[in-house]
Chain A
Amino acid sequence: MIVLDPNGEKLSLMSLNVGPTHPATHHCVRLLTALDGETIVAGVSEIGFMHRGFEKMVERGTWQQVIPYTDRLNYCSAMMNNIAFCRAVENMFGIEIPERNKVLRVIVNELSRINDHFICVAAAFQDLGGTTPFMYAFNPREEIMLIWEKLTGARLTNSFARIGGLYRDSYSGFEGDVLAACNSVEKALKDLHACLDRNRIFLDRTVGVAKISKEDAISYGWTGPVLRATGVESDLRKDEPYYDYETYDWDVVVGTQGDANDRLQVRLAEIEESVKIVRQALKRLAPGPVDIIDPRIRVPSHKMAYQDMEGLIGRFKSVYEGIRVPEGEYYCGSECANGELGFTIIADGSGHPYRIKVRSPSLAHVSAFNYLVEGLTLADSMATLPGLNMIAGELDR
């Protein structure tokens, strides 16, 4: 199309459609651009290709049946979403979970965060044409997946957390496995830094690309690593601590520039911090119960159900009718791998959720995408997108 630019000169622009079937957009974001040569003059993005009706589906089940759906929000770190949801509901009940459960949840949270950040960095490299770091990042990830398999029985979508407890206690040998995984994570980090820090091609393509200011990032509602990359020190684990995060010795990682490179570096540095937290948490892991004892909230164990009348009734009632969350509304956000994952919960006092709205971090990040890439070249736009860590399940829900 031919346009008049702001100076009144004639300009011939080409409109080009990028995605959703593009390796970097993961079949989930479409960007229609107007190109002047190779530079993007204007862009419009479209999402919704993975909208699978989380919010409609959860209204049909009981409160416990929401948990498998939360797995598939951010499927790279599934258990974090379980824990975030269970934490919201537990806050509504006003219950305090046992100490061992807290520590286990911290370990699981941080290992999931490592998993998620590894996928993000690996995919970013892959999209820029580097296959080796992709392989490096997946080795420790596979090791963590093995722990998941032993712990929960599933590789990716684990559904481990329960309201007022966990699916089950950890297995014997769990601590050793986690320590070994931590070691290989550190080894892989070294390899990744060797690939990344002085790689001329990578630095040329990411440093200074798609910069965003603090004010803009806050206005767009960015949270998590991408906000911290712009230099804002905001982490819910420090700001509104839960599960005793404030008592662990770790630092909030912040970037300086807010460009594509910072967003990936912050993630890699956060993996180091997570490893620190996991190592400390392993020392605190003392034997004890993981579930609260309240048959109205946490389903009684099989042992109780088969030997005890009350246990059997409790099991029947909580499975068939669902647990009765007190009537009211509540917003609760937790720090997940991508940012603040929040649940606005409307409960009507019955066994079924009346409405659950997910505050997804990816939606806020991707809403800034077309503004970020305007003025960049088309190739740079594909270096920008993986740094935002767009996870479709969370983006479109």
Chain B
Amino acid sequence: MDFSEKIVSVLEEKFGGKREPLAKWDACVVIPKEYLHNAVEFLKNDSSTQLDMLLDEAGIDYLTYPNHEGPRFAVSYSFKSTKVAGRRVRLKVLVSEADLKVPTLTDLYKSADWLEREVFDQFGIVFEGHPDLRRLLNHVEFVGNPLRKDYPAQKRQWLSTSDYLMPELEKRLESKGYKVIERSEEINPVDEEYLEGSRK
């Protein structure tokens, strides 16, 4: 418990964090959005912390939470250290409905890529600077964000055809230094032909 007390006080001093009163069992600090990236960089690289693994990003919607004040959404980040056993800390960022933006952590942790895509998918929170922000779990034609509290659980949405993914592949090729100069026929499909054969 030593470490968590220390890290909370450091985060409070350096990055204007505030201890989350609801987290009674582990160390959790609410960090202002603009300092999130710096705080995480500090946690990852500083020799006194060495939290080198981003375990989880959880979106939270406080719409129906009893007696809740403040912004509607929050994102909770769980960190852990693989070098020193037992070091864990959680950071929390509050996100208001008017400004659904959070800085991305993809440049610090590779695991942030899919975790952020999932939060974007389920809650509609936009991660600024994310290289490829698409839906992860739900299909491409899905409208809305299912884990928000105002999304009815049984509202079903059919999918007509699977995701195309070709633009993403080309993006991936270009990021590796390749340059696409000619596409084959099936890469530029006519819309009607492409839909033919799959369900309406």
Direct A/B contact, Cβ within 8 angstroms = yes
In Å, the complex CA distance between A207 and B137 comes to 33
| A1 within 8 A of partner (CB) | yes
In Å, the complex CA distance between A368 and B110 comes to 9
Whether A15 lies near B169 (C-beta < 8 A) is yes
| B65 within 8 A of partner (CB) | yes
In Å, the complex CA distance between A4 and B54 comes to 36
Which chain B positions have C-beta within 8 A of A219?
Answer: 52-53, 109-111
Which chain A positions have C-beta within 8 A of B22?
Answer: 327-329
| A43 within 8 A of partner (CB) | yes
| A91 within 8 A of partner (CB) | yes
Place the interface of chain A in its size category: 35 or more
| A201 within 8 A of partner (CB) | no
In Å, the complex CA distance between A221 and B26 comes to 20
> What 1/0 mask marks residues of chain A from 23 to 65 whose CB sits below 8 Å from any chain B CB?
0000000101110000001111011100101011101100000
Tell me which of B1-9, B10-18, B80-88, B93-101 binds A.
Answer: B80-88
Q: Given the known A-B contacts A3-B179, A47-B137, are A328 and B166 also in contact in the complex, defined by CB atoms under 8 Å?
A: no
**Chain A, 77-109, CB within 8 A of any chain B CB:** 91-92
In Å, the complex CA distance between A396 and B122 comes to 12
How near does chain A come to B18, taking the closest CB pair, in angstroms?
14
> What 1/0 mask marks residues of chain A from 336 to 354 whose CB sits below 8 Å from any chain B CB?
0000101010101110001
| A367 within 8 A of partner (CB) | yes
User: Would you call the interface of chain A mostly helix, strand, loop, or mixed?
Assistant: mixed
| B47 within 8 A of partner (CB) | no
Most chain B CB within a 10 A radius of its CB, from A13, A227, A344 = A344
Which chain A positions have C-beta within 8 A of B109?
Answer: 219, 221
In Å, the complex CA distance between A46 and B114 comes to 10
Whether A240 lies near B85 (C-beta < 8 A) is yes
Tell me which of A135-143, A169-177, A265-273, A357-365 binds B.
Answer: A357-365
Whether B178 lies near A44 (C-beta < 8 A) is no
Whether A349 lies near B66 (C-beta < 8 A) is yes
Whether A44 lies near B53 (C-beta < 8 A) is no
Whether B177 lies near A6 (C-beta < 8 A) is yes
Which chain B positions have C-beta within 8 A of A30?
Answer: 162, 165
Whether A1 lies near B61 (C-beta < 8 A) is no
Which chain A positions have C-beta within 8 A of B163?
Answer: 46
Which chain B positions have C-beta within 8 A of A91?
Answer: 25
Which chain A positions have C-beta within 8 A of B137?
Answer: 47-48, 51, 396-397
What residue in chain A is nearest B76 (Cβ atoms)? A344
| A165 within 8 A of partner (CB) | no
| B168 within 8 A of partner (CB) | yes
22 A–B pairs (Cβ distance < 8 Å), ordered by A: A3-B180, A4-B181, A5-B177, A32-B169, A42-B173, A42-B178, A51-B138, A232-B82, A234-B82, A327-B22, A328-B22, A331-B76, A331-B78, A332-B25, A332-B26, A344-B76, A348-B65, A355-B61, A357-B59, A357-B76, A364-B111, A367-B113
A-B pairs with lowest CB-CB distance, top 6? A221-B111, A239-B85, A6-B177, A357-B58, A359-B56, A51-B137
What is B's interface to A at a CB cutoff of 8 Å?
Answer: 20, 22-26, 28, 52-56, 58-61, 65-66, 76, 78, 80, 82, 85-86, 88, 90, 109-111, 113-115, 118, 122, 135-139, 146-147, 153, 162-163, 165-166, 168-169, 172-173, 176-184, 187
Query: With A48-B136, A344-B78, A364-B114 given, can you name 6 additional A-B contacts, CB distance below 8 Å?
Result: A51-B138, A220-B110, A234-B85, A331-B88, A340-B80, A354-B65
